[in-house]
């Protein structure tokens, strides 16, 4: 008896549970569009919630029903966006109109869904009005009588009116009334948008939310909100950019107040999420003949509570190379944003370098103080003072170089994506006048690095990239110029396919009268790449690099140039493309055989 009783309970429980299990029964979705517009079908398919299941689905029936009910609104939005205001939409779930199926009457199983769209005629604009509208502002293209009545154009015209008034200080401009009248007989849409400007406003005080390790007064100083001045929306973008570029915040959001403060001004709130205080990064580049380069960078993002950054770095190159020796750089940099002005960063730095090859060992140390000025999002300048002390040991003996310099620089950056640009330019220009002491001669070191990017296909699947580098030392002779300031060519940052710093000049002689190689006083180089995207994550690159070194002027040293060419693969990641290049020499006598380069980021 007991066993039979247990079985009854088991059967009863199974019967109760079974209806709660989801049903998987959708076989197909039929999607048809009747329209004279041949491109409309593809647009509706892209917008559709059901079209992706045209070959069936294992989703529960209630999920399919939810998408079927939402399909009407989704397709209507897509139709309105293309000017179809008289369309008919039918969504049949096993022959029943989805809109007529009550929620409690939803089927447990769905075998077939049919979607039929009849677009009807395309509507055009009749009367179009957004008022009041600033008289000097340019009307939105397409928002005019006779143009296709696309809903997106209506939204753009409305947003343009609001934006124009906000640019003039009317921060609380909004839509007071919106009237859209569709004339189905004549296939026209009349639009009447009434804007309410509100009062002319000035910026109120900045409030801050989310600061934990940051001092409030320093956040306000970095943001630099022009309290008391007339409202301008671009100022809010500038405030956000100032806070972001400190690197102290994971996210920055600037929020306008919904009510005026006691003085009748518009309060602004900065909502912040701070980054971790400390950061450690390790980087590696590999070149088959030049060895491995390893870098370690440690940073504290908020040293004293004012987004002060302390960065310690160490780089070693030439690891695993038989000839020459290990080169390394040790440096420390302190940066303080919002010094003197919100757009001025003050920095102090010290650096020690050792460079070794078969002929020369160079030890150099430098210390500097610098101000960096952010003129805009695309233009940055810097200037400062630096002291350099170095010792060069080469076949001519040991030479000590001492100099006090006053470096100046400008950077212009219009790249759309810094890690892998498809358009824009990046140009840096640096000038360093220096005063020499002892045997060091005075002079000026100048350098320009110009890069340009152009997508030549509509989807930017093919990108052409070009780079020109030029440097020169004037006022100092080759022997009297600081050795660390001389120019070489060859390696991944100049000419791939040629060994690192393999091209210099034989202009100095040892005590025995034998000429030995050093860097030159003039450098000219260029690179060209064609970058072809194969998929979202894979790209192929073909490239050609060339460079030359001279003494006393450009093209003064006969035939002293070399070139390299090769192909590469790029694998796109969140931190930038992983680069694999294979290159060989195509001109000059400084290299022999192919070289392999592995690193992170584009070559330029």
Residue 434 reports pLDDT greater than 90: yes
CATH 2.40.160.50 domain position(s) in the chain: 278-600
Residue 10 reports pLDDT greater than 60: no
The pLDDT value recorded for residue 24 is 56
CATH 3.10.20.310 domain position(s) in the chain: 203-274
Indicate the burial class of 413 (C-beta count within 10 angstroms; 0-12, 13-18, 19 or more).
middle
Sorting pLDDT into bands at 50, 70 and 90, what band is 468?
A: very high
Q: Give residue-wise pLDDT tens across range 532-587.
A: 999 989 999 999 999 999 999 999 998 999 999 999 999 999 888 999 999 999 99
CA distance 281 to 288: 23
CA distance 537 to 602: 14
What percent of the chain has pLDDT above 90? 77
What lies within 8 Å, CB to CB, of 322 at 6+ separation is none
Look at 3-7, 523-527, 584-588 and tell me which has the smallest mean pLDDT. 3-7
As a residue count, the chain comes to 604
Q: Which residues of 502-541 are buried (b: 16+ CB within 10 A; e: fewer)?
A: bbbbebbeeeeeeebbbbbbbbbbbbebebebeeeeebeb
Q: Give residue-wise pLDDT tens across range 280-299.
A: 999 888 877 777 889 999 99
The pLDDT value recorded for residue 287 is 77
Token reading at 164: 């124009």
The pLDDT value recorded for residue 72 is 96
216: left (phi over 0), alpha (psi -120 to 50) or beta: alpha
- The CATH class given to the 278-600 domain equals mainly beta
The pLDDT value recorded for residue 322 is 61
Residues linked to residue 432 through DSSP beta bridges, in sequence order: 445
Sorting pLDDT into bands at 50, 70 and 90, what band is 8?
A: very low
Going 48 to 50 to 55 to 58, the CA torsion angle's sign is positive
DSSP assigned state of 199: -
The pLDDT value recorded for residue 11 is 37
Indicate the burial class of 1 (C-beta count within 10 angstroms; 0-12, 13-18, 19 or more).
exposed
CA distance 259 to 265: 9
**Angle, in degrees to the nearest 10, between helices 61-81 and 40-47:** 140
The pLDDT value recorded for residue 317 is 86
The pLDDT value recorded for residue 22 is 52
Cα separation values, 438 from 262, 316, 401, 441, Å: 66, 31, 8, 8
Q: What does the angle CA 382 – CA 429 – CA 464 come to, to the nearest 5 degrees?
A: 125
Q: Which residues of 31-40 are buried (b: 16+ CB within 10 A; e: fewer)?
A: bebebeeeeb
Number of other residues whose CB lies within 10 A of the CB of residue 28: 14
- Tell me if 360 sits within 8 A of 354, measured CB to CB: no
Residue 9 reports pLDDT greater than 80: no
Q: Which CATH architecture has domain 203-274?
A: Roll (3.10)
Q: Give residue-wise pLDDT tens across range 364-409.
A: 999 999 999 999 999 999 999 999 999 999 898 899 999 999 999 9
CA distance 251 to 269: 14
DSSP helix/strand/coil, 501: coil
How confident is the model over 157-177, as a mean pLDDT? Answer: 95
Q: Which CATH architecture has domain 22-118?
A: Roll (3.10)
For tokens 């810094």, the residue is: 418
What lies within 8 Å, CB to CB, of 264 at 6+ separation is 199, 201
Token reading at 412: 């212009």
Question: 132 preceded by cis ω (within 30°)?
Answer: yes
Residue 5 reports pLDDT greater than 70: no
Residue 12 reports pLDDT greater than 70: no
The pLDDT value recorded for residue 452 is 97
Indicate the burial class of 228 (C-beta count within 10 angstroms; 0-12, 13-18, 19 or more).
exposed
The CATH number of the structural domain formed by 124-196 is 3.10.20
Closest listed residue to residue 554, CA positions, set 491, 463, 496, 487:
487
Sorting pLDDT into bands at 50, 70 and 90, what band is 99?
A: very high
How confident is the model over 347-369, as a mean pLDDT? Answer: 92
């Amino acid at each position: 008896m007991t066993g039979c009783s247990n079985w009854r309970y088991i059967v009863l429980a199974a019967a109760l549970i079974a209806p709660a299990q989801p049903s998987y029964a959708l076989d197909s979705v039929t999607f048809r569009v009747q329209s004279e517009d041949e491109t409309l079908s593809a647009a509706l398919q892209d917008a559709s919630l059901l079209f992706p299941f045209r070959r069936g689905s294992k989703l529960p029936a209630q999920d399919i029903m939810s998408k079927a009910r939402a399909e009407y609104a989704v397709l209507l939005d897509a139709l309105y966006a293309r000017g179809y205001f008289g369309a008919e939409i039918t969504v049949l779930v096993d022959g029943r109109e989805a809109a007529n199926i009550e929620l409690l009457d939803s089927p447990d199983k769905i075998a077939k869904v049919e979607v039929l769209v009849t677009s009807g005629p395309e509507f055009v604009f009749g009367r179009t009005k957004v008022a009041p509208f600033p008289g000097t502002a340019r009307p939105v293209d397409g928002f005019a009588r006779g143009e296709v009545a696309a809903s997106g154009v209506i939204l753009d015209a409305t947003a343009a009116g609001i934006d124009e008034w906000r640019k003039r200080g009317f921060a609380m401009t909004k839509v007071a009334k919106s009237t859209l009248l569709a004339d189905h007989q004549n296939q026209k849409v009349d639009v009447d948008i009434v804007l309410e400007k509100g009062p002319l406003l000035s910026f109120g005080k900045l409030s801050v939310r989310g600061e934990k390790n940051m001092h409030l007064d320093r956040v306000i100083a970095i943001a630099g909100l022009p309290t008391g001045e007339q409202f301008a929306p671009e100022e809010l973008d500038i405030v956000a950019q100032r806070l972001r570029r400190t690197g102290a915040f994971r996210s920055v959001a600037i929020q306008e107040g919904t009510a005026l403060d006691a003085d009748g001004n518009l309060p602004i709130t900065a909502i912040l999420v701070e980054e971790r205080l400390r950061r450690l990064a390790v980087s590696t580049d590999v070149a088959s003949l030049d060895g491995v380069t390893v870098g370690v960078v440690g940073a504290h993002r908020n040293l004293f509570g004012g987004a002060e950054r302390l960065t310690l770095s160490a780089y070693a190159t030439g690891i695993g190379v038989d000839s020459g020796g290990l080169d390394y750089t040790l440096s420390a940099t302190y940066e303080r944003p919002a010094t003197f002005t919100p757009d001025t960063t003050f920095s102090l730095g010290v650096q020690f370098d050792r460079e070794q090859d078969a002929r020369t060992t160079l030890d150099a140390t430098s210390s500097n103080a610098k101000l960096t000025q952010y003129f805009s999002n695309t233009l940055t300048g810097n200037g400062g003072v630096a002291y350099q002390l170095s010792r060069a040991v080469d076949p001519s003996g040991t030479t000590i170089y001492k100099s006090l310099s006053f470096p100046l620089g400008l950077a212009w950056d219009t790249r759309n994506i810094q890690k892998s640009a498809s358009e824009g330019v990046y140009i840096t220009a640096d000038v360093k006048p220096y005063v020499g002491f002892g045997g060091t001669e005075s002079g000026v070191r100048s350098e320009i690095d110009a890069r340009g990017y152009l997508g030549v296909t509509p989807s930017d699947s093919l990108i052409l990239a070009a780079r020109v580098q030029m440097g020169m030392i004037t006022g100092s002779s080759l022997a009297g110029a600081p050795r660390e300031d001389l120019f070489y060519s060859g390696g991944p940052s100049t000419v791939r396919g040629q060994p690192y710093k393999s091209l210099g000049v034989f202009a100095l002689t040892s005590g025995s009268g034998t000429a030995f190689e050093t860097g030159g006083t003039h450098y000219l180089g260029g690179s060209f790449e064609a970058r072809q995207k194969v998929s979202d994550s894979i790209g192929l690159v073909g490239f050609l690099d060339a460079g030359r070194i001279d003494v006393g002027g450009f093209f003064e040293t006969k035939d002293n140039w070399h070139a390299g060419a090769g192909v590469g693969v790029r694998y796109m990641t969140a931190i930038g493309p992983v680069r694999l290049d294979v290159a060989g020499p195509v001109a000059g006598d400084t290299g022999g055989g192919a070289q392999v380069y592995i690193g992170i980021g584009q070559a330029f």
